[in-house]
Amino acid sequence: MKNRKLRTMGEQFGRRSWAEPWKIKMVEPIRMTSPQERQESLAEAGYNTFLLRSENVYIDLLSDSGTGAMSDRQWAGIMLGDEAYAGSRNFFHLEEAVRQYYGYRYIVPTHQGRGAEHLISRVLIKPGQYVPGNMYFTTTRLHQELAGGTFVDVIIDEAHDSSNLHPFKGNVDLDKLEVLIKRVGAENIPYVSLAGTVNMAGGQPVSMANVRALRALCDRYNIPLHLDATRMVENAFFIQEREEGYKDKSIADILKEFCGYTDGAWMSAKKDNLVNIGGWLAVNDSDLFDALRNMVVIYEGLHTYGGMAGRDMEALAIGITEAVNDDHVRSRVEQVRYLGSLLTSWDIPIVKPVGGHAIFIDARDFYPHIAQDQFPAQAMAAELYLDSGIRGMERGIVSAGRDPETGDHRHPALELTRLAIPRRVYTQAHMDVVAESVKAIYDAREQTRGLKMVYEPEYLRFFQARFERIA
Ligand code: P71
C-alpha cells in the first residue's frame, strides 16, 4: 500500500477515530450563492458581515452564540413549557440544573448574557471603581463602563501573542492584579471579572491552579471573584486535557470545582448551555441575590423568568445537563481543532494553541501590507465571504472601539478574524470547505486592500459600522 493517499482522521492523528455522540434527525437546507450575488450582498452590507442577511450566507461562522442545534430532548422540553407569569415549573428545573452542575446557591434568570452583565455591573460597581479582568469582552466591558467602572486588563502577557504556546493563555497575572490593588486600593475594586475561556484571546483557558491562587489573593484583600461562565465547560475540557491531576476527572467534576473558587457567575446560555436564547446569573451571597433579584424585575422580567419563556428555560435546563457530557465536549473542541490543523498545515497564521470555540486568523500576519487603521481583519472577513459565502467576524481594531477618555481608536495587539463553530451543526466536510476557502484568500492575499470606515455608531460599533474598499 505505497503512496496511499486517502486517510481517516484517526490515522492522520495517530489514534483511533472518534465521531460525534449524536446522529442527525432533521436537516436545514443551505444555499450556495454566485460570486455576483455575494458581491452585491456585501456592498449592501457595507463590508460588515453583521449586516448580511443570513439567507445569503453558505456556512455561517459568525458566532457560536445561539446558533447551536438543540437535541430531541430539548425540543421535547419546549413542549413542556409552563408559561405562567410567576413560579413556572421550568424555572425550578433551571435553578436545579445550575445548582447541580455549577454549584451556586441562588439563580437569577436573564434574557441572555449581557442582561446578566448589566445587572451584576449595576449592582456591584460604584462610579470611579476599577474592574480587573482577564482580557476584555465587548459587552462585559461596556456594562462595566456604563456602571461607572474602568476595566483593567490583568491577563498574562502571553495571551496578547498569537503564536505563544502557553497551555493556559487565559490565566490572570497575579502580579499585575496585586500592583493594581496596591495602586487603587482594594476598596475600589468591587470584584475581579474572570472569564473561562477567554473569547478575545482566542478561546484560551484558565488553569485550576490559577483560579485557586486567584481565590487566595482575592481572600487576602477581601475582593469578591465573579466568573463569566459562558464557555466554562470548554475551559474544563482543557483542564482535563492539560493540567496534572485532572485526566481522570469528569468535565462535570472539573466544572464544579472551578466554580467553587468563585463567588458567583454570569452566563450567556447561548454557548455552552446549548440553547438559542437565554442566560442566568448565580451567586452564593443572599444579600447580593436580593439586590440582583430586585434589579431583574426592572430590566428583564419577573425573577422566575427574566426575559425567557417557560419553554426556553426547560430547553436550557436540559442543555445544561447535555453540555457537561464528556464525549460531547471532546467532539466539539476537536472539531474546532480539526479546522485549525488544516489551516496550520498550509502555514496560515492562526492563534495557537487553538481554543475551544473558534479559529482566530491573525490578520496582521495574513495581510502584513494592510495597516491596522485600514481594518485588515474586517477586510479578511469580507474576502472570505466573497470567495465562498462563509461568514466570519472581525475581532480587532473595530471590535476594540474607542478609548472613552481620548476618543481615539484603541489598537489591540490582536487583530483577528474569527471563525466560530456552532455546536452540533456542521460536519467535517463543512470544515474542509471552510479551510479551502481560507487557503484561497490566503493565496490571493497580496491583491487584497484595506477598508475605510464610512459610518460608525456610538456603542459596540462593530455590529453596525459600514466600510468601503480603499481604491
Ligand atoms: C460571541 C458572542 C456574541 C457577541 C457579542 C458581542 C459581539 C459579537 C458577538 C457573547 C458573550 C461572550 C462572553 C465571553 C458574554 C457574552 C454576551 N459572545 N461573555 O462570541 O462571548 O452574551 O451575547 O448572550 O449577550 O459571538 P450575550
CA triple 43-44-46, angle to 5 deg = 65
18 — pLDDT class (breaks 50, 70, 90): confident
Q: What is the pLDDT of residues 147-169, one digit of tens each?
A: 999 999 999 999 999 999 999 99
Give mean pLDDT, residues 100-107.
98
d(CA 357, CA 335): 9
Query: In 3D, which of 285, 192, 170, 283 has the Cα closest to residue 236?
Result: 170
Give yes or no for a cis peptide into 197 (omega within 30° of 0). yes
Give mean pLDDT, residues 427-432.
96
Give mean pLDDT, residues 424-448.
97
142 lines ligand 1 (CB under 6 A): no
d(CA 88, CA 109): 12
Strand-pairing partners, residue 106, are: 283
- Kindly report which listed range (2-6, 95-99, 387-391) carries the lowest average pLDDT score: 2-6
Query: How far, in Å, is the centroid of ligand 1 from the Cα of 174?
Result: 26
Q: What is the pLDDT of residues 44-78, one digit of tens each?
A: 999 999 999 999 999 999 999 999 999 999 999 99
d(CA 300, CA 467): 34
> Grid cell 448565580 — which residue?
282
Query: How far, in Å, is the centroid of ligand 1 from the Cα of 196?
Result: 13
Query: How far, in Å, is the centroid of ligand 1 from the Cα of 199?
Result: 9
67 lines ligand 1 (CB under 6 A): no
d(CA 323, CA 355): 17
* Whole-Å CA distances, 119 to 110, 127, 278, 429: 9, 15, 15, 42
- Other CB atoms within a 10 A radius of the CB of residue 34 amount to 9
Question: What string of DSSP letters covers 129-194?
Answer: -EEEESS--HHHHHHHHHTT-EEEE-B-GGGG-TT---TTTT-B-HHHHHHHHHHH-GGG---EEE
- Check residue 2 and give its pLDDT: 57
192 lines ligand 1 (CB under 6 A): no
pTM reported for the whole predicted model: 0.96
338 — pLDDT class (breaks 50, 70, 90): very high
Name the residues annotated as catalytic.
85, 137-138, 228, 271, 395, 462
12 — pLDDT class (breaks 50, 70, 90): confident
Give mean pLDDT, residues 358-371.
98
Strand-pairing partners, residue 226, are: 193, 264
Instruction: Pick the atom of ligand 1 nearest to 115's CA.
Output: 25
117 — pLDDT class (breaks 50, 70, 90): very high
Q: How far is CA 88 from the centre of its chain?
A: 29
270 lines ligand 1 (CB under 6 A): yes
d(CA 342, CA 338): 6
- Check residue 3 and give its pLDDT: 60
The x, y and z cell numbers of residue 173, run together, are 497575572
Helices and strands in the chain: count of H runs, count of E runs? 17, 14
Q: Is the confidence at residue 8, as pLDDT, over 90?
A: no
Strand-pairing partners, residue 59, are: 390
- Check residue 265 and give its pLDDT: 98
- Write down the mean pLDDT value for the chain: 96
